[in-house]
Structure 1
Amino acid sequence: MIDLRAVRETPDRLRASQRVRGEDETVADRLLDLDSRRRAALARFEELRAEQKSAGKAISSAAPEERDSLLAEAKELASRVKQAESEADELGTEVDRLLREIPNIVDEDTPDGGVDDFRVLEQVGTPADFDFTPRDHLELGELLGAIDTDRGAKVSGARFYFLTGVGALLELGLLNMAMQQAVANGFTPMVPPVLVRPEAMEGTGFLGEHADEIYRLEADDLYLVGTSEVPLAGFHSDEILGADGLPNRYVGWSSCFRREAGSYGKDTRGIIRVHQFNKVEMFVYTRPEDAREEHERLLSWEREMLDKLELPYRVVDIAGGDLGTSAARKFDCEAWMPTQGRYRELTSTSNCTDFQARRLNTRFRDDAGKPRFAATLNGTLATTRWIVAILENHQRADGSVVVPEALRSFVGREVLEPVKG
């Protein structure tokens, strides 16, 4: 949730942010109008309540012949007080509702435009020049006995799969490697719940325009998470953190679930776009003034993982029109996919400033002891999708796949050999 006081002081920032996102900038005027009317209603309420208190004192000291008329006036005044309070409450509810609909204010350095208007910050590594026709990850996965989408569909439907044999070892090794790196950098490891209450899902900003991507268990009023960002953001909701403990860095390992609504016909082959996957996610609480620097750190840790896996990739700065509700700025790392001839997203890291913390009431005490809203950030350190890039970029002509050296101790072998002709 954005800071209403900041909007009052600099409404043009919200207008500019909405333009960058491709959203309605007149929302700033609607918000300011509602806020002005609410404050006026509150002032009327306080004024009338003060009159009511004075009237009560006058009645207690009034002569008997004056009391009836004063009681009648007091009754009328009580009705007006109640009406003014109701009006202020209704306007307050409208202000809160509108505030929760407005996305975070984008960082001033975020590029303008939509999904195709990202800014390439750096390209790392050179895509392999195969002297054979490379196989895609699904064909490789089937040759290696690592991926079974046919049985996944038989058991659960489209966009489900089994990771079998070396496929399971590869995922476990990858995720364990990510957890080990995070812990070495001071993160507290977490295995969070994957079912959360509506307050946690709404508080992180996932029940807005992308609500149709989320699985909901209506009988229990719980949601399956699409990222452990959600339970980790809720971990300190309604709490005040000590300033001396910041930044609080957590790394969560969880299964994630996405309905992939609206993705009909996209990436239907293999395990690039699926309903269930595993992910290691970094999550940080810090001071708002330190959030930019922390964002760069998260990106550097993501890049460290990609470098260890010897993958060619590029770093992109996501445009405002492609940002999620909570993000003020987002960097993606996209790995080269040889059989697609293009880069595909493997990681994202977002600076959510104090947007989520305001919604979840997560604060810290500053050096003066004053409670302030924290900033939250998140970043992906490994997911099931990384298997796609590893298989395709490290394949050999005979269908075997070389395991990157940094990953070998976690997988237990140097080469994945075909089990099928």
Structure 2
Amino acid sequence: MIDLRLLRDEPDRIRDSQRKRGESTSVVDDLLSADERRRAAVQSFEAVRAEQKSLGKQVAQAKGDERAALLTRTKELSGEVKAAEAAVTEAEAVLRRAQFAVPNLVEDGVPEGGEDDFVVLREVGTIPDIEKPRDHLEIGEALGAIDTERGAKVSGSRFYYLTGVGALLQLGLLQMAIAQAVEHGFTPSITPVLVKPESMEGTGFLGAHASEIYRLEADDLYLVGTSEVALAAYHSNEIIDLEQPARFAGWSSCFRREAGSHGRDVRGILRVHQFDKVEMFSFCRPEEALAEHRKLLAMEEEMLAKVEIPYRVIDVAAGDLGSSAARKYDCEAWVPSQQRYREVTSTSNCTTFQARRLNIRYRDADGRPQTAATLNGTLATTRWLIPILENHQQPDGSVRVPKALQPYLGGRDVLEPRR
């Protein structure tokens, strides 16, 4: 949610941010108008309420005709106060809707444009020379690790089973992610996967991405597409201690409808309805957010180095940012069967946008409550199995296990295909 003081002082900054996103600037004007109407409504309410209080004191001292006239006016004011209060309530509702329609202010230096206008910051690792690479599903089926056929039989398309070494590989990967997060001072967390509407709305997922979300209508609850939602809402309506950033690593199953992706990446486990993920989440003071963002990106790269896969880091263009993000960096792993990089992590600086919606604050040096900043980043997810299996495939059908993962797979260094 946009800071209304910034809106009033620098509306052109927000309009410029909208243009960078490729979105309409009219929502900024709508928000300015709604803010003015609310302030006018509050002013009118306060004026009639003050008169009402003043008359109450006068009535106590008046007599005769003067008292009767004051009582008549007091009755009139009672109706005016109720009407003015209702006008404030309505104006606040309009203002809230207008605020929710404006995405976060894009950080200076973010590339302009859409999905294809990202900037490559660096490429890391050596792309393996694999003659006729098999894709992850062929490899996974040979290993007895991935079963999409039975997943579809039981649950429908884009569901799957991870079995045998596939299950062990995912569990090992996520455990390694949690271990790394704990090393860096993060609090490990297993989060709820069902959340209330205010939690989903507060993190910005009920806007442009609402069609991606599963909703349980009977209970008015949502299935999360990332533990970011539950982690962000953990401190909602609280004033928290931010002498140091508060950092969490959430492990959860995640659910996405993949609406609008029909026919795209239907093979294997790249684009599925359910997966597991370890998500980093930080609460910090706004002035610390840029450094915290770099820290989360460095941790993602540390994990990618451990699984020994080539990747690149991109600075995502403004038009491809989610509504809550001021800036986002993606790490994309090399996928040999596709001869291209595919996203495996992202980390976003959401500045004070989510915390303002969720009312998460801290006290500054003078003891005054201030809005916190929030950031998130993927540390490992089911999708990582794709580049791990494909980049480490061997000519005989086996798969080499990265050294850092071997302790989590009983010490084995090679996964052998079933005979």
Structure 1 and Structure 2 fold alike (TM over 0.5): yes
Q: Report Cα offsets for 1:260-313 as digits up to 9, x if no partner.
A: 111100110000000111101111111110000000000000001111111111
The whole-number CA distance in structure 2 between the counterparts of 1:32 and 1:101 is 12
- In structure 2, what is the equivalent of residue 230 of structure 1? 229
- In structure 1, what is the equivalent of residue 252 of structure 2? 254
The whole-number CA distance in structure 2 between the counterparts of 1:40 and 1:59 is 29
Secondary structure at 2:303 match in 1: helix
The whole-number CA distance in structure 2 between the counterparts of 1:225 and 1:292 is 26
- In structure 2, what is the equivalent of residue 332 of structure 1? 330
User: Contact 2:280–2:376 (CA<8 Å) still a contact in 1?
Assistant: yes
CA deviation after TM superposition for structure 1 residue 20, in Å: 1.2
Aligned residues: 418
- In structure 2, what is the equivalent of residue 121 of structure 1? 121
Secondary structure at 2:259 match in 1: coil
Determine if the alignment matches structure 1 residue 207 to structure 2 residue 211: no
- In structure 1, what is the equivalent of residue 98 of structure 2? 98
Determine if the alignment matches structure 1 residue 321 to structure 2 residue 319: yes
Using the TM superposition, name which of 310-319 and 215-224 deviates more.
215-224
Determine if the alignment matches structure 1 residue 305 to structure 2 residue 340: no
- In structure 1, what is the equivalent of residue 48 of structure 2? 48
Q: Report Cα offsets for 1:62-115 as digits up to 9, x if no partner.
A: 331333333223322332232222222211211111112221111112111111
CA deviation after TM superposition for structure 1 residue 416, in Å: 0.9
User: Contact 1:243–1:367 (CA<8 Å) still a contact in 2?
Assistant: no
User: Contact 1:17–1:105 (CA<8 Å) still a contact in 2?
Assistant: yes
CA deviation after TM superposition for structure 1 residue 368, in Å: 1.6
Read off the aligned partner of 1:368 and give its amino acid letter: D
- In structure 2, what is the equivalent of residue 390 of structure 1? 388
- In structure 1, what is the equivalent of residue 107 of structure 2? 107
Secondary structure at 1:316 match in 2: strand
- In structure 2, what is the equivalent of residue 165 of structure 1? 164
Using the TM superposition, name which of 36-45 and 143-152 deviates more.
36-45
The whole-number CA distance in structure 1 between the counterparts of 2:178 and 2:224 is 19
Q: Report Cα offsets for 1:171-212 as digits up to 9, x if no partner.
A: 111111111111111111111111111111111111111111
- When the two structures are superposed, what TM-score results if normalisation uses the length of structure 1? 0.97
The whole-number CA distance in structure 1 between the counterparts of 2:47 and 2:41 is 10
- In structure 1, what is the equivalent of residue 414 of structure 2? 415
The whole-number CA distance in structure 1 between the counterparts of 2:409 and 2:155 is 27
CA deviation after TM superposition for structure 1 residue 128, in Å: 1.0
User: Contact 1:355–1:375 (CA<8 Å) still a contact in 2?
Assistant: yes
Q: Report Cα offsets for 1:115-174 as digits up to 9, x if no partner.
A: 1111111111121112x2110000001111111110111111100111111111111111
- In structure 2, what is the equivalent of residue 182 of structure 1? 181
- In structure 2, what is the equivalent of residue 351 of structure 1? 349
The whole-number CA distance in structure 2 between the counterparts of 1:158 and 1:212 is 18
- In structure 2, what is the equivalent of residue 76 of structure 1? 76
The whole-number CA distance in structure 1 between the counterparts of 2:137 and 2:236 is 41
Secondary structure at 1:158 match in 2: coil
User: Contact 2:34–2:98 (CA<8 Å) still a contact in 1?
Assistant: no
Secondary structure at 1:279 match in 2: strand
- In structure 1, what is the equivalent of residue 215 of structure 2? 216
The whole-number CA distance in structure 1 between the counterparts of 2:345 and 2:220 is 30
- When the two structures are superposed, what TM-score results if normalisation uses the length of structure 2? 0.97
CA deviation after TM superposition for structure 1 residue 219, in Å: 1.4
Read off the aligned partner of 2:385 and give its amino acid letter: I
The whole-number CA distance in structure 2 between the counterparts of 1:63 and 1:408 is 92
The whole-number CA distance in structure 1 between the counterparts of 2:65 and 2:292 is 73
- In structure 1, what is the equivalent of residue 281 of structure 2? 283
The whole-number CA distance in structure 1 between the counterparts of 2:308 and 2:416 is 19
Using the TM superposition, name which of 74-83 and 388-397 deviates more.
74-83
The whole-number CA distance in structure 1 between the counterparts of 2:325 and 2:67 is 61
- In structure 2, what is the equivalent of residue 381 of structure 1? 379
The whole-number CA distance in structure 2 between the counterparts of 1:91 and 1:8 is 17
Read off the aligned partner of 1:348 and give its amino acid letter: S
The whole-number CA distance in structure 2 between the counterparts of 1:381 and 1:304 is 9
- In structure 2, what is the equivalent of residue 141 of structure 1? 140
CA deviation after TM superposition for structure 1 residue 252, in Å: 1.0
CA deviation after TM superposition for structure 1 residue 9, in Å: 0.9
User: Contact 2:27–2:101 (CA<8 Å) still a contact in 1?
Assistant: no
CA deviation after TM superposition for structure 1 residue 243, in Å: 3.0
Using the TM superposition, name which of 147-156 and 59-68 deviates more.
59-68
The whole-number CA distance in structure 2 between the counterparts of 1:374 and 1:345 is 29
Read off the aligned partner of 1:3 and give its amino acid letter: D
User: Contact 1:253–1:281 (CA<8 Å) still a contact in 2?
Assistant: yes
Using the TM superposition, name which of 338-347 and 35-44 deviates more.
35-44
Using the TM superposition, name which of 274-283 and 83-92 deviates more.
83-92
Q: CA RMSD in A?
A: 1.2
Using the TM superposition, name which of 67-76 and 251-260 deviates more.
67-76
Unaligned runs of 5+ in 1: none
- In structure 2, what is the equivalent of residue 342 of structure 1? 340
The whole-number CA distance in structure 1 between the counterparts of 2:242 and 2:96 is 28
Determine if the alignment matches structure 1 residue 59 to structure 2 residue 55: no
User: Contact 2:165–2:415 (CA<8 Å) still a contact in 1?
Assistant: yes
- In structure 1, what is the equivalent of residue 25 of structure 2? 25
Read off the aligned partner of 1:402 and give its amino acid letter: R
The whole-number CA distance in structure 2 between the counterparts of 1:401 and 1:314 is 23
The whole-number CA distance in structure 1 between the counterparts of 2:200 and 2:383 is 24
Secondary structure at 2:240 match in 1: strand
